[in-house]
Chains A and B, each alone.
Chain A
């Protein structure tokens, strides 16, 4: 495993990627990945700037599946706050979705990342290490950021007006696919907000009202928003 065997500057990137993939399958070993996040360790000695970005971005994205340990959070937030490489920022945005519980405290970092990356976003994928083009279903840093907003659900409800502003007043600053992601995030947050309101609605009106609301909202939402909502709905 990562911790057992030396991962230094001599290790081929492919071997490194295999080890990260192994940890993905065994999330209990995720702490070993945290040790590989500092840029100044020997693993990155003599590697190109692009190779270092590739390796660190791949680790960050893996936290979505393994869960994000507390020790990795500073690295994730650092990339969101100051990162200027789409691959790393996308990885960091994904990593947040590995948090045990969503928290509103990451929201300012996500907004900072939107501003940092919107002019230098890129097509990328975490499906494989060193992917080869053409890629059928690429993602982007902005896509991952807005998906994370949606994942935060109720913890990001305060950002709804900002997302609406991005979708309407600032629409020219975002491409059509990104506007769709913003819309998806808004829809999920909207539904989450509605689900909080339900508590205040007296039974028996609740169920009928609620099902109508959901039906209307989901018809408007895109497939990925619907799938996000299905995940959300399973959260009590």
Chain B
């Protein structure tokens, strides 16, 4: 195909796309058509940036008689424009705040604002209004809106969001989200000093998921070292909680974890998943020189590779031994009779 032919084909493609766009725009503008069809046309348009198109989309968003999904779609198609105009940021914030507005539209407004917040030069002057709206929304009836607003604030390490999350953990009747989600969100800020309540939660968990998340987060709290070690040792504990305690203890007290991991590998009564986690951690993070001197451990791992009924244990044992073999080979090569 010569250059002129490919240019012609390219021009045709552009022309076809422009015609399609014009048709989609026509469908969206035609209020006599079903909302679903107009919404599909909007989705094909993907983004509206032309002044008239944006104005038409705003008219549709403002019109509460219109289908909520269509209005939300219209809002999404002008998201690029929202990030460039203070008046449209105000408009989206007003939609987000408005409790009488449809949840679909408010969720779309939240998403559009979140995207716009990355355009710092235009958006940052609006930051106080945005944060104020988010803090208002965290008490909303709509759980999804509440959770998304809280998530954004928690990522900002927002004082009010952290305060409300902690209140919810202390008093479940005040909870804005399930405890495990609250713990995850508090985890965004390592300076939040929520460890006392997390330790309390580990002793008296509202749910197994909350306990697992609390254990995971305690991996940054030096005072929780013994608590995590006890959980890891406790065979009556749920396996995912013990696994979480293994990861947490590993980052908090690597030497102590290494010792416990060896005990787990040597213990034939231990659960396969926990054993696999221990072998894996030893393979990747332990003091390899010291491990290679531990003949008893190597023999036990070899045995596990041969006879363990658990595929995951056999696989991790194999990886452990393979790495150990490579290290030995490297050592042998470097210690070899170079001068002979």
CB within 8 Å of B: which residues of A? 46-51, 53-54, 86-87, 118-123, 130, 133-135, 138, 140, 172-176, 178
Contact = CB atoms under 8 A, between A and B. Distances in A.
A123 B128 CA distance: 5
Contacts of A118: 124-125
Interface in B142-180: 157, 159-160, 162-163
Given A118-B124, A172-B122, A176-B86, A50 B132 contact: no
A48 B194 contact: yes
A175 B124 CA distance: 9
A51 B218 CA distance: 20
Contacts of B162: 48, 50
Contacts of A86: 128
A203 to B, nearest CB: 46
Given A48-B162, A50-B162, A123 B157 contact: no
B127 interface: yes
A47 B194 CA distance: 9
| Chain B at the A interface: SS class | helix
- Chain B CB within 10 A, most for which of A46, A49, A172, A178: A49
Contacts of B160: 133
Interface stretch (B107-115, B185-193, B259-267, B331-339): B185-193
Contact of B128 (A48, A51, A172, A175): A175
Contacts of A138: 128, 132
Contacts of B127: 119-122
Contacts of A133: 132, 135-136, 138-139, 160
A174 B122 CA distance: 9
Given A48-B194, A130-B163, A133-B139, A175 B189 contact: no
Given A86-B128, A138-B128, 17 more contacts: A46-B193, A48-B189, A48-B193, A49-B157, A50-B157, A50-B189, A120-B124, A120-B127, A121-B125, A121-B128, A122-B127, A123-B135, A133-B139, A133-B160, A135-B132, A175-B125, A175-B126
A236 B136 CA distance: 44
A87 B127 CA distance: 14
Contact of A140 (B128, B157, B191, B193): B128
Contact of B159 (A50, A120, A121): A50
What is the predominant secondary structure among interface residues of chain A facing chain B?
loop
Nearest to B192: A48
Given A49-B189, A49-B192, A119-B120, A172 B132 contact: no
A172 B86 CA distance: 9
Contact of A123 (B120, B131, B163, B194): B131
Interface-centre pick from A48, A87, A173, A178 (highest chain B CB count, 10 A) = A48
6 contacts: A48-B162, A51-B193, A118-B124, A118-B125, A135-B132, A172-B125
A50 B192 contact: yes
Interface residues of B, number: 26
Nearest to A175: B125
Contacts of A178: 125
Given A48-B191, A50-B159, A50-B162, A174 B125 contact: yes
Nearest to A142: B128
Contacts of A134: 132, 135-136
Nearest to B120: A119
The 6 closest A-B pairs by CB, nearest first: A48-B193, A123-B132, A49-B191, A133-B135, A50-B159, A175-B125
B193 A47 contact: yes
Contacts of A175: 86, 125-126, 128-129
B159 A53 contact: yes
Contacts of B131: 122-123
A175 B120 CA distance: 13
Contacts of B124: 118-121
Contacts of A123: 128-129, 131-132, 135
Contacts of A135: 132
A87 B131 CA distance: 13
B152 to A, nearest CB: 14
Nearest to A140: B128
A182 B22 CA distance: 46
A54 to B, nearest CB: 6
Contacts of B122: 172
A51 to B, nearest CB: 7
A178 B86 CA distance: 13
A175 B126 CA distance: 6
A54 B192 CA distance: 13
Contacts of B193: 46-49, 51
Contacts of A176: 86
Contacts of B125: 118, 121, 172-175, 178
Residue among B128, B163, B192, B193 facing the most chain A CB atoms (10 A cut-off): B128
Nearest to B162: A50
Contacts of B159: 50, 53-54, 87
Contacts of B139: 133
Contacts of B129: 123, 175
Nearest to B122: A172
The interface centre, meaning the residue of B122, B125, B126, B191 with most chain A CB atoms within 10 A of its CB, is B125
A134 B128 CA distance: 13
